[in-house]
Amino acid sequence: MSRSIKLVDVAPTMARVLGVKTPPIDGRPIGGVEGWDCDRVALAIVDSLGYGLYTSLEPYLPNMRKMAREGLLLEAEAVATSTTPAIASILTGLLPQNHGISNTSQASESEIRSLLEWAGSEGVRSAVVMEEEGARTFQGFVEIALGVPRALSAPDFDRQILARSIEALEGDPRVLVAHFVGIDRAAHRGGGIEEIREAASAIDGLIGEMAAAISERAILMVCGDHPIHAGKLQGVFDSGSVALILWWRGLG
């Protein structure tokens, strides 16, 4: 890559794959996927998957490691230090100071449109799977918005994210967004590297199942939202970038 990559580049990259127009935004499409014969996207947001953490844990993440080697592994500049504004930037292509979303209630009230809404306005069927309160902010704007109860344990929550994602895929969306939280939950509990590694390994298995379930014409994008921002491992790895993997089954 001849330029630095930021998380705001995710939405315009997805839009290019889907063939939909974007409003004026801060991000730009990532090069390198133009020759991939794809017109669908599945985005797996892995909370707290910083780039340094990913590279340290890569030997324990066989599915993501395979995707990174066959496709693209990018170090993407994080644009926020907490989840809601980071995900807003991922999905709108706007920096936090330009979308102004710092919590879920603001997301519900915001007039800023996301990739899912851009796609929907052009007849592209979309799905989002995340925690219940977050999923409600998309209801009425996307065809499929499925929520998972926050009260579940992190492993159960992430397994339900996968299950509901596979359920959403039965509706044949051309874009799917799912949010896995296990690493972030482990960090907030004060877990050490073993707990973080266990959470990351579990998510890697779920992403492998997601990769097997999506269309053969779908790009799977896996990205962190911010590096670890809590607990004893805060600042141990890099604090400014996240892992971003782009993969298509045809590359294997």
CATH number of the domain within which 182 lies = 3.40.720.10
- Give the list of residues 6+ apart from residue 235 with CB closer than 8 angstroms, or none: 228
Q: What is the pLDDT of residue 3?
A: 66
Q: What is the pLDDT of residue 237?
A: 78
Cα 251 from chain centre = 20
Q: Report the DSSP pairing between strands 72-77 and 126-131.
A: unpaired
Q: What is the pLDDT of residue 1?
A: 44
Cα gap 117→142, rounded to integer Å:
7
Q: Which domain holds residue 230?
A: 5-251
Angle between helices 10-18 and 83-92 (to 10 degrees): 40
Residue ranges in the chain whose pLDDT is less than 50: 1
Residue 100 gets which letter from DSSP? Answer: -
Q: What is the pLDDT of residue 235?
A: 78
Q: What is the pTM of this model?
A: 0.95
Number of structural domains (the chain) is 1
What percent of the chain is modeled with pLDDT above 90? 78
